[in-house]
Amino acid sequence: MDLKTIEDLGVLKASGIKEGEKWEFKSTWPSSPNVEKSICAFANTAGGIILIGVDYDNTNNQIRGFPGIDKARGLEERAVDIGGNNSPRVIPSSWLIDVAASRTVQVIQVFKSRNIPHMASNYIYYQRADKENVPISESLVEKLYLARQVQQKEAEAFLRDREYFKLPGNPHWLSISFCPLYLEADLIGHSRSNLAFLNSRRDIINSTWVDAFFHSEPEEYKFKIPFPATNRNAL
């Protein structure tokens, strides 16, 4: 569902959407730890949206309206900063929908991460269960870490087989970092043409939520591959 305009909010209300696994509604900005837990849980589960500035009837489970919150500088950045407190960091997308001259509804969108499990700053891993953020069991956390390692090995094997790296000359080390971006971002389109071979695995590159240009690289996706090249600056 597209949420960019006040009309889109009206469509959302008419649809009867309820708080649940993928939706969370707040009338005002909750405490930072609660937002962090929700971002962590959404990333670890199936993604989701937090709407701030919503009049929600918890008894009847329905949206009554969108009074909004006071406009202020840095609202979007606040959401991004809070998501970055998770480890590995989760970088949500956030924007504002003006509902009056000085009132706005904030949208915080989190996509399901490929870099799970994420841990909140209180050292607890959360997942979404209906409309609650609940801790993930230790056994499941261990399984998720193992799955992440398998994913990294698959990416490493993919790059090792690329014809692009089979160049004549002395061997050098190539440092590769997989830094997932927002789904609507297009890393390939803004990269040098000699990275075009990665188009075939766009799902690896355009995964969710770590912006390589403004945030540190996730170490779990960083490794080195030896390859022969006559020009070390070829890449």
Strand partners, 65: 55
The DSSP bridge pattern shows strands 126-129 and 103-110 to be: unpaired
pLDDT at 168 over 60: no
pLDDT at 156 over 80: no
The DSSP bridge pattern shows strands 126-129 and 93-98 to be: unpaired
- Give per-residue pLDDT as tens, 26-39: 999 999 899 999 99
| Residue of 172, 131, 159 whose CA lies nearest to 26 | 131
Query: What domains are there in the chain, each with its CATH number?
Result: 6-136 (3.30.950.30), 139-228 (no CATH)
| Residue of 81, 103, 104 whose CA lies nearest to 92 | 81
- Give per-residue pLDDT as tens, 1-11: 789 999 999 99
- Give per-residue pLDDT as tens, 75-112: 999 999 999 999 989 999 999 999 999 999 999 999 98
Angstrom distance (rounded) from CA 187 to CA 205? 7
Angstrom distance (rounded) from CA 27 to CA 179? 34
Q: pLDDT-based confidence at 160, cuts 50/70/90?
A: low
Residue 165, class by beta-carbon neighbours within 10 Å (0-12 exposed, 13-18 middle, 19+ buried)? middle
Q: pLDDT-based confidence at 228, cuts 50/70/90?
A: very low
Angstrom distance (rounded) from CA 89 to CA 127? 15
Residue 202's CB is within 10 A of a number of other CB atoms, namely 12
Q: pLDDT-based confidence at 144, cuts 50/70/90?
A: confident
pLDDT at 194: 41
